[in-house]
Amino acid sequence: MLGMENRILADTSVLIALQRRDPQAVSFFRKHIYKIDISRISACEFIYGSRNKGEKNINKDFLEWMYIIEIDENISERAFEIIDEYGLKVKMGVSDALIAATALEENMKLWTLNQKHFKEIKNVELI
C-alpha cells in the first residue's frame, strides 16, 4: 500500500470488468496496480457472483493478490449514516453503502463503473 492520499478502492463492478478483460479497466488496473485495494464486501460479492466452481476458483486466486480492507466499526457506522442520508434518494443498498463508507473512512478514491449509486454521496471522490 502507498500513502493514504494515493490509494484507490475498486468496487465490485471493476472486479467484474477485469474478469471480463475490459480493455479500459485492465489498462487502468495495470497502471495503478500497487495503489488498488478492495473492500471485504466486494470480495464477497465477487465470489458470490461466480457462475460456476471453476470461475469461483479463478476469482479466489485473483483475490489472493488484492489487499482487502476489512469492515470495522467505523466503516459500519459510516455506512449506516450513508444509508440514512441517501438510501431512499438513490436506492442505495447495504453493499454500496459499505463500499462508499470504506472509501470515506480510508480516505480513498472510489473506482466504480456504477457511478449512479455513489455520485450523490458527499466527499466520495469517484474515478
Q: What is the pLDDT of residues 67-83, one digit of tens each?
A: 999 999 999 999 999 99
All domains of the chain in start order, with CATH: 4-117 (3.40.50.1010)
Strand, helix or coil at 40? helix
Choose the weakest-confidence range: 41-55, 94-108, 111-125: 111-125
The answer to whether the CB of 40 falls within 8 A of the CB of 70 is yes
Where residue 5 falls among pLDDT bands split at 50, 70, 90?
Answer: low
- How much is the pLDDT for 87? 84
Between 116 and 30, the more confident residue is: 30
- Residue 18, number of CB atoms within 10 A of its CB: 17
Locus of grid cell 475498486: 10
Locus of grid cell 488484492: 66
Q: How far apart are the first and last CA of the chain?
A: 18
- pTM for this one? 0.91
Listed in sequence order, the residues at least 6 apart from 5 whose beta carbon sits closer than 8 Å to its beta carbon are: 107
Q: What is the pLDDT of residues 112-125, one digit of tens each?
A: 998 888 999 999 99
Residue 3: pLDDT above 60?
no
